[in-house]
Amino acid sequence: MVRPRDEEPDEQWRMTVNLLAIIAVLVMVGAGFWLLRELDAARKAQECLASAARHHCRQIR
């Protein structure tokens, strides 16, 4: 079965859009993990500052 020539650019465009969507999702997942790590570090620093052992708070990270 021979495909019409006008379908090829649509398939290429769809593949390009799908690839860009996958890259965007991976970037968002990576940013989410980074944000969670930063929020966890901030929480640990805040808990340390609230505790009595304030002189060791710089080591937490």
Q: How confident is the model at residue 29 (pLDDT cuts 50, 70, 90)?
A: very high
For range 30-47, the mean pLDDT: 94
Total structural domains within the chain: 1
Scanning the chain, the segments in alpha helix (DSSP H) are 7-50
Given a contact cutoff of 8 angstroms between Cβ atoms, the answer to whether 40 and 49 are in contact is no
Using CA atoms, how far apart are residues 19 and 13, in angstroms rounded to an integer? 10
Residue 49 pLDDT level (bands cut at 50, 70, 90): confident
End-to-end CA distance of the chain: 61
Q: Is residue 4 part of a domain?
A: no
Residue 45 placed within a domain: yes
Domain that holds residue 41: 28-61
Let me know if residue 32 belongs to a domain.
Answer: yes
47 pLDDT band (50/70/90 cuts)? confident
Q: What is the pLDDT of residue 58?
A: 64
For residue 59, tell me if it sits in a domain. Answer: yes
Residue 36 CA to residue 5 CA, distance in Å, equals: 48
19: in domain = no
- Residue bearing tokens 């968002």: 28
